[in-house]
Amino acid sequence: MSKLKVQSFTISLDGYGAGPEQSLQEPLGVGGERLHEWLVATRTFHQMQKIEGGSTDTDDAFAQRGFKNLGAWILGRNMFGPVRGPWLDEAWKGWWGDEPPYHVPVFVLTHHARPPVTMQGGTTFHFVTDGIEAALRRAREAAAGRDVRVGGGAATIRQYLKARLIDEMHIAIAPVLLGSGESLFAGIHLPALGYRVGEHVTTPKATHVVFTRN
């Protein structure tokens, strides 16, 4: 059966999944890029960027796992871009250029309707205005039996956790401190929601923790 997963979502030691003051110049917030040093060094990330090289170590193995049996993504509005409120025009098509790294349907949570945006490489962004369960239903239909990945941001993951809809969650904890930003586990009681630690591995650049749901 199709599973809803979080894969390779990185937080700081003090629990932030993004830095403060997200903007066009700082898409991950101030200091947020430091979270992903473990990922950008991997062969998986290099292949996504269509460049040579990259590590083939434990960090890369976790990055690879995030793309196995993957049929659709769900993103929060902030993950799609810095635009807030109603769509003033349809010029903004994401952070990733003409060919985003998804290559499958992507369902973007928003309060403001917008027609689908079809990009190169198999990615189509669909904008969902009727909540997280509707987005998951549509994503599972599009995935056709494969898994659905929640890409973030932190607020979107929290919504799915609180609803006990996430089946498995891989969190990478980077050895950095942000001090402020978007906290992943604010208001979340993971044991009460049925989540437990199923796996944990430490590398020089991150601690990888996999949570499963009872």
Look at residue 65 and tell me if it is in a domain: yes
Print pLDDT tens along the chain (214 aa): 799 999 999 999 999 999 988 887 888 889 999 999 999 999 999 999 889 999 999 999 999 999 999 999 999 998 998 888 898 888 889 888 999 999 999 999 999 999 999 999 999 999 999 999 999 999 999 999 999 999 999 999 999 999 999 999 999 999 999 999 999 999 999 999 999 999 999 999 999 999 999 8
Among residues 15, 18, 8, the alpha carbon closest in space to that of 181 is found at 18
Look at residue 23 and tell me if it is in a domain: no
Look at residue 42 and tell me if it is in a domain: yes
Look at residue 166 and tell me if it is in a domain: yes
| Structural domains of the chain, count | 1
- In the prediction, which pLDDT does 81 show? 87
- In the prediction, which pLDDT does 95 show? 86
The whole-model pTM stands at: 0.94
Look at residue 75 and tell me if it is in a domain: yes
Look at residue 70 and tell me if it is in a domain: yes
- In the prediction, which pLDDT does 190 show? 97
Cα–Cα distance for residue pair 38/61, rounded to 1 Å: 11
Residue 50: which CATH number? 3.40.430.10
152 preceded by a cis bond (ω within 30 of 0): no
DSSP 141-185: HHHTTSEEEEEE-HHHHHHHHHTT--SEEEEEE-S---SSSEESS
Look at residue 92 and tell me if it is in a domain: no
- In the prediction, which pLDDT does 129 show? 98
- In the prediction, which pLDDT does 83 show? 80
Look at residue 89 and tell me if it is in a domain: no
Range of the structural domain that residue 133 is part of? 4-17+32-82+97-205
Cα–Cα distance for residue pair 139/148, rounded to 1 Å: 7
